[in-house]
Structure 1
Amino acid sequence: MRVELSEVSLEVQDNGTGRDPVLLLHGFPDTHDLWRHQFKALDAAGHRVIAPDLRGFGASDRPADPTAYHPLHSAGDMVQLMDRLDVGRVHLVGHDWGAGVAQALAAVEPARVATLTLLSVGHASSLLTAGWEQRRRSWYMQLFQREGLAEEFLSRDDFAQLREMLGAHPEPEEALARMREPGALTAALGVYRAGLPAEVMFGPVPDGPRLRGPVLGVWSDGDPFLTERSMTGTEAYVDGEFRYERVEGVGHWLPLEAPERVGDLLLGFFDAHGRPPRES
């Protein structure tokens, strides 16, 4: 369904019924479809499940202003979306850049987050202080900052370079098809440019917002982009409970590559922390 917000219109999947609302946020270069396996599992367990295409991705609007892609803007979209859908508090789950948006939402509206689950990507300050190996794995983020140059490089020869980068994605051709749409690649790269510009990546590490527990961090040992330390270091920025889970033999796209494991982890974590009130 389509949901009109103050700045953008978002494409949203919402089962519309059930207890304990769950909000699922995807990252680059995905859409709400990333969560289709978890959507079914959570729906079957009686949850209300909401999964939007974030601004700049999928069928949602693509603002022309590059600054519009800062994670705080997407966090604001999620607050408005919850209001439009009459949802007070949620179990909040994010993967990749969706984890960054989820943390921004949890930081600015902590009362509306019953639990926070971060898949693959931990706290930004942990990422930036995780050491040389993480810096090496993050090389592509510097490329993504170069507007125009990055688009030309990634789309050259029928997206050969982006295809190579997404070699471990379970559904690379579907992702590439979305990037071929006019303006889609620039919009998708916008979150890197607004959220992790060069002065943040290579300057003094900023004091990122602290997170209120309970927080679940999940990392997979086959992730080519992120080190375990970048996730485990998140605990230093959490006030309250931080639980860490390592998934063996799986790459970056946990919701697609280990759907049953992710579903079990989510349901167990939600059950351990009760039901969020329906009223804010």
Structure 2
Amino acid sequence: MRVQLSEVNLDVEVSGEGPAVLLLHGFPDSHVLWRHQVPVLNAAGFRTVAPTLRGFGGSDRPEGGPAAYHPGKHIGDLLELLASLDVDRFHLVGHDWGSGIAQGLASVVPDRVRSLSLLSVGHLASILSAGWEQRQRSWYMLLFQLPGVAEEWLARDDHAGLREMLAGHPDAEAAIEPLRAPGALTAALNIYRSGLPAEVQFGAAPPVVPLPDSIPVMGVWSTGDPFLTERSMSGTHAHVLGRWRYERLEDTGHWLPLERPEAVGDLLLSFLKEA
């Protein structure tokens, strides 16, 4: 369904009845990332809300450069979306950039968040302090800061560079297809340019905002993730004021909801019911 908000129209999948679960995808995905978990959650008595974030997939790509894709803009979209669906309290689940946006949303409205599940990406302070190996794995984040250069490298030779980065993505071709549209790749990259500029990655550390003590948090990391070290996720516990649960999936890459759908579904169900 298309949901009209004040600044953008979002492509959103809403299904099921019961306590709401907001599912947030990352780069370069859409709400389709959650196609295996949605029916499992619905069958267990949860209502799922899975939006495609602005700049991705079938959602709008507003003008205005990186500023139009700042994480704060995404948080505003989500609050407006939840209001339009009459959702007050909700569980939060985020993967990749969706994890970062979920943490921001939880910090803004902690009294409304029942639980927070972070897949692959932990707390920013934990990632920035995870050491040299994490810096090496984050090389592409600096490349993405270069307008035109990043787009040319990723799209050259029928998106060979992007295909290389998405080598472990089960839906790589489907994820690449929407990025062929004019301006689509730039819109998707703008979340990095606004949310993780070079001065944040390699400059002075930003203020540490811990996750509120009222929210139970689960972090899930996979041993085959080429982009993120275990320390970047496990260290998140130092920035969680409330209950923390850590889960480690063996022999799995970055795209957990697609590569290990049953395991992710089971973890979410156990954590949501526990919370």
1:27 aligns with 2:26: yes
Q: How many residues align?
A: 272
CA–CA separation in structure 1 for the residues paired with 2:76 and 2:217? 21
Q: Find the counterpart in structure 2 of residue 48 from structure 1.
A: 47
TM-score (normalised: structure 2): 0.97
CA–CA separation in structure 1 for the residues paired with 2:176 and 2:208? 32
Structure 2 unaligned runs (5+)?
Answer: none
Please tell me the residue identity of whatever aligns with 1:91: H
State the secondary structure of the residue aligned to 1:83. Answer: helix
Q: Deviations over 1:7-28 (max 9, x none)?
A: 111010001x411110000000
Deviation at 1:120, TM superposition (A): 0.1
State the secondary structure of the residue aligned to 1:6. Answer: coil
Q: Find the counterpart in structure 1 of residue 121 from structure 2.
A: 121
RMSD of aligned Cα (Å): 0.8
Please tell me the residue identity of whatever aligns with 1:136: Q
CA–CA separation in structure 2 for the residues paired with 1:126 and 1:63? 31
Q: Deviations over 1:62-93 (max 9, x none)?
A: 11112111111101111111100000011100
Q: Deviations over 1:234-258 (max 9, x none)?
A: 1111111011000001000000000
CA–CA separation in structure 1 for the residues paired with 2:129 and 2:80? 33
Matched residues, percent identical? 64
Structure 1 unaligned runs (5+)?
Answer: 274-280
TM-score (normalised: structure 1): 0.96
| Match among 269, 272, 275 for residue 270 of structure 1 | 272
Q: Deviations over 1:23-77 (max 9, x none)?
A: 0000000000000000010011111011000010011111111211111110111
CA–CA separation in structure 2 for the residues paired with 1:229 and 1:139? 17
CA–CA separation in structure 1 for the residues paired with 2:24 and 2:162? 22
Matches within 5 A, 1:22-101: 22-65=21-64, 66-101=66-101
CA–CA separation in structure 1 for the residues paired with 2:182 and 2:90? 34
Deviation at 1:208, TM superposition (A): 3.1
CA–CA separation in structure 2 for the residues paired with 1:57 and 1:208? 28
CA–CA separation in structure 2 for the residues paired with 1:250 and 1:84? 37
CA–CA separation in structure 1 for the residues paired with 2:262 and 2:118? 17
Q: Find the counterpart in structure 1 of residue 237 from structure 2.
A: 235
